[in-house]
Each structure stands twice: as C-alpha cells, then as structure tokens.
Amino acid sequence: MTDLIDAAAQKAVEAIDYHRLNELVQEVCRIPSILGDEGPLASFLADYMKNSGFEGVGLQDVVGERPNAVGELGFGTGKRIVFTGHMDTKPVSIGWEKTSPFSGELIDGAIYGHGIMDMKAALVCQIVAMEALRDSGVDLAGTVAMAAVSDHMGDQLGSIRYFDEYAADLAVLGELSGNEIFLGHRGRYYFDITVQGRSAHTCHKPLAVNANLLAAHAIIELDQSRLTPALEDWVVDLFGAETYMAPGRVYGGLPPGGPSMIPDECVIRVDCRPQPGVTVEEVRAEIEHCLAAARTRDSRFRAEVELVDVKKGYLAEPGDEVVELMRDSVRSVRGGAEPPLQAAGWLGDTASFGDKVPTVIFGPGGEPVYCPDEHLSVADIVEATRVYTEFAVRALTPRESA
C-alpha cells in the first residue's frame, strides 16, 4: 500500500508546472494587499482559479471590499482538506535597494516582493499544487479546497467566515515556517490597564496626581514579569517556559500642541503571548500581582483591568493524522530525512479555526520577515509546492485502491 501511495505522490509531483509556479508568484508580488486593501489580490486569485477550471470559485464576503478568494477541486467522495493562508500584509518597510517592493523581480535565484514570505508565495504554492493533482490524473477520493483569506492581521475575520461556512476534515495553514513542520503557535491576550490620577493645570502641579507617572510604575513591573505557568514538558520544549508579556502601547495625556494639563488617565495595552494551555485567568493573576507591586511604589496608584481581545494558541499533537501526513510528505520530498517538529511564537489564523479543524502549519519563508529587500528562493518555493502536492495525495488516496 505504501509503495502505491508513494508512486501516486511522485506522479503528482512530476505534474507540477514550475514555470507557471514562478510566474504566478511574481504576479501576486506585484499586487499590493496591505491590511485593508486585500480586494485586488482576492479578485486576481479568484479569476485565476476560475480560468484554471476550479469549482466553486468565488469572492466570499468578509468585510467591506475585502473578500476571501475561494475555490476547490473535487475528486469524488471522501475527505475535504483545505489549503489556506492570508492575503493581507503589513505596511511596506523602508530601505529597499535591490528592487522595488512590488516588482516581483527574479534576482540570483530568488523572487523579491513585499509580503512574499507572509504569505503570498504559499498561496501560489497551494494553488499550483492543486493543479498538479488534477493534471496528474492520480486516483483520489475527496476534495481539495483553497481559502485565501483576508483580515488575518486584523481580527481574523476571513478565516472565521470561511470555516463558519465551509466544512473541513483536515487543513494546512501555509504560514511561514521555513518549510518545517509547525505543530502550532502561541496565542494573544490583550489587557487594557487604565491608571487613574487627578488632573490639574501644569501651574497647579501640587494639586495633581499625574496618571502617566503612576503608569510608569506599572510599566516597570509588567516589563519585569516572568510568568512561567505549569505546562507539560513537551509543550515547554516547543515554546519555552515563559509566557511573554509586555506593556507594548501607552496612551496618556494630551497630544503635542494641546493645552497644558497634567493627565488624570493613562491606558497601558499589555500584549501577552501565552503558550497553548495558559488560561486568561493565569495571565490576569500575574497582571494583578504586577499592579500590586506598583502600588507599593506609590500608594496613590489606582487602576482598572479590562480584557479586550482573546486569540487562543493552537497545538496539534505528534501522532495526529494531519501531522503524520505532513511528516510523510516532507520525508518523501527530502529523500527520507526525518523532519523535526517545531512551533511558532507568532499568532496564526488557527487561533480562530484550529478548534474546529485538525491543522498543521507548513510554508516557505522565515525570520526575518517584513524587512527591506524581502525575498524567497525559488528552491524553497518549489519544495513547498512539492510538499503540498504530496500531502493532498496522501490524504486523499483511496485506501482500498492503495
């Protein structure tokens, strides 16, 4: 059975159109899709899938003019697997020298483009892998779907909408993992701490309690926090022991050019990145501990804590079907080399759908990302496409025929 599956996977890999792959990566790099402006890229990908003969192609409404681009290929009755990734990018970095951010230029075996690693190339790799499945004629049973989603860097509304409307048995998220297998990622909890003082004109400083000064005590304590919750050893091995927490944004006082006034309120946005399994309550308790320490610095310290956003971490387990399929695929593409299992510190869309669909993370590109002259080697793009192709074959090969 294994030999037949390997042969089917190899046949599908041989059907990959590498010229089309590279050209399509270059094309998507030429379409800006900074968060809030995903519409043009969504339209391009939907048109491409439609012209390629995909089924169920459409622009799925998400928010405003920022739809998801969806399509699929059916191979009869069987599992439904989803390849997915986000279209939105961060703003362009300053300092590009080798070429322009949206050139898609091929230089010394690498394609240059803003957002190519996060994650325009992966979207193309997934689509071209699906074409190879169809063009190879291998015997499959099931459906392979493509979900290019918007708003990842916002509230993950694109992924939420897609997986609310479409079912899936397994999924592959193409986030940048350096073409290694990532079992999951940390989550994100945002807490807003509102520090309260007493306002007064600057000329009446003795009457005031400067909220910014009080907030500074809390910022020092929060920044020195080292929360190490109880976790299973294998989770600590993947992510490290510390739950990272930082007072990343501070809003206090009046803007430059405003009237003279000592502020009575300052808001600290605490950005917490918990490992999977760390609860909101554990983090809140640590924040309260830090605020109690701030109160010992200045007895006037008063603050309210509000949880304003929760994105849970995600973690598949070694041995899960989706993980083993990906391990077999990577091992095959690399000639038998055993791939390590890793995890990410960043936040993926699996925070919003991983509890519904068993998912593994695999994609080309890695740190540093969003930097001047961002580029990705053609070799990495090719390898990712081969892995996606093999994964789909291994997931959808009928066991009775194998």
Tens of each residue's pLDDT in the chain, 402 residues: 688 999 999 999 999 999 999 999 999 999 999 999 999 999 999 999 999 999 999 999 999 999 999 999 999 999 999 999 999 999 999 999 999 999 999 999 999 999 999 999 999 999 999 999 999 999 999 999 999 999 999 999 999 999 999 999 999 999 999 999 999 999 999 999 999 999 999 999 999 999 999 999 999 999 999 999 999 999 999 999 999 999 999 999 888 887 889 999 999 999 999 999 999 999 999 999 999 999 999 999 999 999 999 999 999 999 999 999 999 999 999 999 999 999 999 999 999 999 999 999 999 999 888 899 999 999 999 999 999 999 999 999 986 654
CA–CA separation, 2 and 156 (whole Å): 38
**Per-residue pLDDT, 367:** 85
**Per-residue pLDDT, 2:** 82
b/e 182-205 (16+ beta carbons within 10 angstroms → b):
bbbbbbbbbbbbbbbbebbeeeee
**Per-residue pLDDT, 394:** 97
**Per-residue pLDDT, 255:** 83
**Per-residue pLDDT, 151:** 98
| Rg of the Cα atoms in the chain | 24
**Per-residue pLDDT, 122:** 98
pTM over 0.75: yes
**Residues 232-289 pLDDT 10s:** 999 999 999 999 999 999 999 888 887 889 999 999 999 999 999 999 999 999 999 9
Give burial (CB, 10 Å; 0-12/13-18/19+) of 88: buried
| Antiparallel, parallel or unpaired: β 314-315 and 181-185 | antiparallel
**Per-residue pLDDT, 146:** 98
Place of tokens 């200045």: 298
